[in-house]
Structure 1
Amino acid sequence: MTVRTVDKGAFLRRLRKLHGWLGLWGAALGLLFGITGFLLNHRQVMKIPAMQMHESQFQLAIQQPVLPDPQAFGRWAQQGLHLRHAPYKAGVESPKPVIWQGVTVPQPVRLKAEFHLPQVSYTTEYVMGNSFVSVRQQEVNTLGLLMRLHKGVGMNTGWVLLIDSLAGAMVTLSITGILLWTRMRRSRLTLAGLGLGSMGLAVFFALQSM
């Protein structure tokens, strides 16, 4: 009995330390998302300029023909725009022929590639046979940048992993918090298990009914 009590006490002390450090990490990231969420939620009261998007278009000259390969075109557009980010989406589009005055006119193949950065997006399009690539650039203001950061739009893998660490910390905090509340007592563990099981079933049936 004594050994079991000591082991349980040591486990709870380690669990409390883990809970505290994860709480500190979650609080730091939660503060960042809380501030951006607060600004977005009260942008009208605080008279923050509404999200605005400035759109412009330009062309990139092509020195040699481009093959109908969306991945190769995406790499070409990335180099042409001097971007470090790989294309968010790259694809090929084969439009249906158009009937003009009773004559079927075939339409050229189009290659497209999209790039999304925190404050700017690029949509590139190349029509097979042209000597240029059309580029549409969309820049957002400060509020748009906050919204993109909050949603993770255009962010790199490091930012995604950072958000995943916050999600993992919240899940672990919930588990350690429940274990600390139960103090590893069988009656409280049973009660917590029943409560979580009931909540899980409620969520499951709610999703099934949607």
Structure 2
Amino acid sequence: VLSSQLPTEININHYNDPVKLLTSQAEFERFVQTSLSISGPTRERRGAPPRPAAVQLGDRLVEQPRRFEAYYASAREVFEANYVDGNRYIDVVHTERGFFSTLNRLHLASNTGPVWVAIIDAFSIALVVFSITGLLLWSRLTGPRLLAIGLASTTLLGAVYYAVLL
């Protein structure tokens, strides 16, 4: 049974029911998804590389127990589940992100679907087009204003080009 505490910032829960013998990563992921009612695929976790299967201890090689990890993330929350072969529990870390963190994740298109990325791309292209057409309408395509827009655009493009090279 999962301990159900109202989330502060991070809750650490232990699954205390006896864990059946898990033989593969896919089986572990299915077990975690059904036990925690999580929908969607696992995500690639950023950070430390996976641990080695064997460790050198003195002059002999000691085999590590199998370890299964699953990472489920959305813009609003994160579940990390870890299981070491032989344990009778699964460590689950559940993090609920706050309002501003959720907005930031949506802004970065982090852990969002392709539909959200397409919407954000279309919106940013529209902003660029509206900015350019607004400047051209303001200049009325005449004399000094058009020259000022050309100079500012050239300077901006040069700065962006220089920034990309570094």
**Shorter-chain TM-score category?**
0.5 to 0.7
Distance 1:187 1:75 in 2: 66
2:104 counterpart of 1:147: no
Over residues 127-165 of structure 1, what are the superposed CA-to-partner deviations in whole Å (9 max), with x where a residue is unaligned?
Answer: 34656543222234xxx2322223325555554444334
Runs of 4+ in 1 over 6 A off after TM superposition: none
**Count of residue pairs the alignment pairs up:** 153
C-alpha distance 157-206 of structure 1, shift in aligned 2 (>3 A): closer
1:204 Cα deviation from its structure 2 partner = 1.8
Map of 1:77 onto structure 2: 32
TM-score, length-scaled by structure 2:
0.65
Question: How far did 1:123 drift?
Answer: 0.4
Question: Residue 4 of structure 2 corresponds to which residue in structure 1?
Answer: none
CA distance in 1, matches of 2:21, 2:54: 26
Q: Aligned to 1:105, what secondary structure does the other structure show? A: strand
Percent of aligned pairs with the same amino acid: 26
CA RMSD of aligned residues (A): 3.6
2:55 aligns with one of 98, 120, 132: 98
| Structure number with larger C-alpha Rg | 1
On the 8 A contact 2:65/2:85 being kept in 1, the answer is yes
CA shift digits 1:28-84 (9 cap, x unpaired)? xxxxxxxxxxxxxxxxxxxxxxxx613222227654533245xx6545533432122
- CA gap 1:146/1:191 in 2 versus in 1, 3 angstroms: closer
Distance of 2:140 and 2:18 partners within structure 1: 69
SS in 1 for 2:70: strand
Alpha carbons of structure 1 residues 177 and 203: separation in structure 2 relative to 1, 3 Å: same
Which residue number in structure 2 is paired with residue 180 of structure 1?
Answer: 137
Alignment check: 8 A CA contact 1:116 1:122 kept? yes
Q: Which residue of 2 aligns with 1:58?
A: 14
Counterpart AA for 1:89: E
Tell me, yes or no, if the aligned pair for 1:78 and 1:87 is still in contact at 8 Å.
no
Please report the TM-score for the alignment, with normalisation by the length of structure 1. 0.54
> Unaligned regions of 5+ residues in structure 1, if any?
1-51
Would you tell me which structure has more helix in proportion to its own residues?
1
For residue 200 of structure 1, report the CA deviation from its aligned partner: 0.8
- Contact conserved, 2:53 with 2:66, CA < 8 A, in 1? no
| Corresponding position of 1:32 | none
Whole-Å separation in 2 of the counterparts to 1:147 and 1:65:
35
SS in 1 for 2:39: coil
The answer on whether the counterparts of 1:122 and 1:135 sit within 8 Å (CA) in structure 2 is: yes
Comparing both chains, which one has the higher relative contact order based on Cα–Cα distances under 8 Å and sequence gaps of 6 or more?
1
- Residue 151 of structure 1 aligns with an amino acid whose one-letter code is R
Alignment of 1:17-28 (within 5 A): none
**Distance in 2 of aligned mates of 1:150 and 1:171:** 21
Conserved in 2, the CA contact under 8 Å of 1:65 and 1:129? no
